[in-house]
Amino acid sequence: MQPITPGLEKTAKAQPGAHLALGLLFAIGLVNYIDRVAMSVLQVPVKAELLLTDEQIGLLMGFAFFIPYTALSIPMARLADRSNRKAILIFALVIWSGMTFAVGLAGSFILLLFLRVGVALGEACCLPTSYSLIADYYPKQTHGRAIAILGSTFPLGSMIGLVLSGHLGVELGWRGAFFAIGAVGLCLVPILMIGLKEPARTTDGAGPAATPKLAEALRDIWRRKAFRYCILGLGLQSIVSISILTWAAPFYSRSFDLDLGQVAMLVGFVMAGAGAVGTLGGGVLGDRIARHRPSRLMLFPALAAIIATPIAMLQFLTGNLAVSIVAALVSSVFANIYLAPCNALIQRLALPGTRALSAAVGVTAAAILGGGLGPWGVGKLSDYLSGVTGSPADGLSYAIAIFMLAGILSAYFFWLSARHMDRDSGFGEKEHKI
C-alpha cells in the first residue's frame, strides 16, 4: 500500500503536438456547444410553429438532453480510459452533428424529443474524452490554463451558436438553421481524422497507468471531500450559468419585445462573450492563486458565485433594458469563473487511469442539476407563475430569478471543498492511500 499523489507526472513539459491537439479539441468543443445551444434562440420560432409550452421547451433543453447525456457519460469515460480516444471523438461528432441536422425535419414535440436525445448521446462522449486527452498532453502545472482554454468553448461556443442560430433563423428559417449548423460539424470530421493524434497516457512514475475497477474508482473519487464538495458546487453553479443561457432569449423577447436577431446578438455577444472572459480568467487566475496553496483554487469560484447571484437576479427583475444588459455583462463573467477551477481540481485529484471517469463525474453533476433541473425547473415554474401573474413575461423573469439563488449554495460547497483540498491533493499531513 503506497501513497499516491494524484495526477503526478514525471515531466513538466507538454507532449509533442499538444498545442495542435488543443486547437482541434477546441474546435470540437465549439461545435459541441453550438449544436447544443442553437435551440436556446430558435426555441422562439419553434415554440410558435409547434405550439409548445415553456415546460415542453424546458424538457427539450433540460432533461430530454441531459438525462441521456448523463447516463452515457460515465460508460463513455470508462471506454475513453481504456480505448482510443480519437476514434471515440470522431464517432461522437458524426452522431451529434447528424442528429442536429435532422432537427430541421421535426414536425412534432415527440420527434424533437427523440432528436435531442440523439444529440445528447453523441455529445456525452466529448468532454470526458477531451479532458482526458488534455491531462495526458499537458503537465499538471499547466492543466488549469489548458483546461481553461478548452473550457472556454462553453461560453464561446454558446456565443457563436446563439448569434449564428439567430442570424440563420432570420435568413433561412429555424429548419434551415439546424440544417446548416449540423453540416458544420460533419465537415470537421475529416480534419479531425487527419490532425488529431492519440497521446501516451501519463503515469504516477511507476509504469503504465492502470484502470481500476469502476466501483473502486468511484469509491476512491467520492471519499475525497475536496472532490465531493467541488462536484456539488459545480452542479449548483451550473444551474445558474445554464439557466441564464437557456432562458435569456425568450426573456428578452417577452419583456422588452426584441426580435430574434436582436435577441441573438444580445445573448450571444454580450452574455456568452462575457462568459468566455469569466471562464478564461478563472483558469489563468486560478493557476496563479493556487500555485503555492491548492485550497485557494476553490475559494476563487466561491467568491465569484456570491458576487454573481444578486447581479444575475437584477438582470431578470429590472424593467430597464440598459440596466439588464449591464447586469448581464457582469453576472455572465462571474457566473462562469467556476468552470476551469473545478475541472482543474478534478484532474488534479484524479488517479492515473481515472481521468476521463473523474471528468465524467463532474459532467454528470453539471448535467443533472444545471442541465436538467435548471431549464426544466425554470420552465415549469414559469408556466405556473405566468398563470398567477397573468403575464408570461413576468412569470418567466420571476422563475429565472428564483433559480439564481442556487449560486449561494454553490459558494458554500466551494468553500467546503477549499477546506479539504490541501490534504486531498497531497499537500497536507495526511495522504490518501490505496
Of 166, 190, 168, 162, whose CA–CA distance to 180 is shortest?
A: 168
Rounded to whole angstroms, how far apart are CA atoms 408 and 90? 39
pLDDT at 312: 96
For residues 222 and 228, the answer to whether their CB atoms sit within 8 Å is yes
pLDDT at 325: 95
- Cβ neighbours of residue 295 under 8 Å, at least 6 residues apart? 418, 419, 421, 422
**Burial of residue 229, with CB atoms counted within 10 A of its CB: 0-12 exposed, 13-18 middle, 19 or more buried:** buried
pLDDT at 62: 82
For residues 363 and 234, the answer to whether their CB atoms sit within 8 Å is no
CA angle, 371 then 299 then 357, to 5°: 45
Rounded to whole angstroms, how far apart are CA atoms 431 and 12? 22
Question: Containing H/E element for 151?
Answer: helix 143-151
SS3 82: helix
The 10 Å CB-count burial string (b at 16+, else e) for 37-64 is bbbbbbbbbbbeebebebbbbbbbbbbb
Q: What's the pTM value of the predicted model, to 2 decimals? A: 0.71
What angle, 0 to 180 degrees and rounded to 10, lies between the N-to-C axes of helices 296-317 and 339-349? 150
- Could you read off the pLDDT tens digit of each residue along the chain, which spans 434 residues? 344 444 434 445 666 677 888 889 999 999 998 988 888 889 889 988 998 889 899 888 888 888 888 888 778 777 877 788 888 899 999 999 999 999 999 989 999 999 999 998 888 888 778 877 887 777 766 666 777 788 778 777 877 888 899 889 989 999 999 999 999 999 999 998 888 887 776 654 444 455 667 777 777 777 788 888 999 999 999 999 989 888 998 999 999 999 888 888 888 888 878 888 888 888 777 667 766 666 677 888 999 999 999 999 999 999 999 999 999 999 999 999 998 888 878 877 777 667 767 777 887 788 788 878 888 899 999 999 999 999 999 999 999 999 999 999 999 999 999 888 766 555 433 433 33
Strand partners, 433: 3
For residues 372 and 62, the answer to whether their CB atoms sit within 8 Å is yes
**Burial of residue 113, with CB atoms counted within 10 A of its CB: 0-12 exposed, 13-18 middle, 19 or more buried:** middle
Neighbours of 136 (CB within 10 A): 21
For residues 89 and 125, the answer to whether their CB atoms sit within 8 Å is yes
Rounded to whole angstroms, how far apart are CA atoms 212 and 369? 27
